[in-house]
Amino acid sequence: MDNLRARGLNRSIFNAAWGELVKKIEVVAAKSGISVVKINPKHTSQTCPKCNHVSKENRKKEKFVCTNCGYYDDADVNGAVNIKLRGLKKLGIDPTQLPPVRGKVTPMEITAT
């Protein structure tokens, strides 16, 4: 019984900390004139962004391979793409109308000034 209480307490602490983080992001974004869109991440790592097929079988560890259309990608990248697509949809933006992303995003070294 104590273990169940501890898990419940841990979950409460995590949820409270997550809620505070979301609030801080919203405050900073509002000061910068940026909108924050909350997205339900459910099934984002199991959904194909090309054909919308959802299956647990699509994700095997760190690889995503759609069992319906054969699309493949890194599982984390695939999840991020699906979250982006859900966010655009929530904002009423058609992703096919956006300009293509060019080049590769790479980490940038930040130097102290």
Q: Please report the pLDDT score of residue 13 as a whole number.
A: 72
Domain ranges across the chain: 1-35, 37-96
**pLDDT tens for residues 15-49?**
777 888 888 999 999 999 998 889 998 999 999 99
Unique residue bearing structure tokens 């509002």? 30
Q: Nearest Cα to 47, choosing from 39, 58, 62?
A: 58
Q: Which two tokens stand for residue 69?
A: 């259309």
DSSP conformational letter for 58:
G
3-7, 22-26, 81-85, 88-92: least confidently modelled range: 3-7
Tell me how far CA of residue 105 lies from CA of 85, 91, 102, 108, in angstroms: 18, 24, 9, 9
Does this model's pTM top 0.85? My answer is no
Mean pLDDT of all residues in the chain? 85
Confidence category of residue 76, pLDDT binned at 50, 70, 90? very high
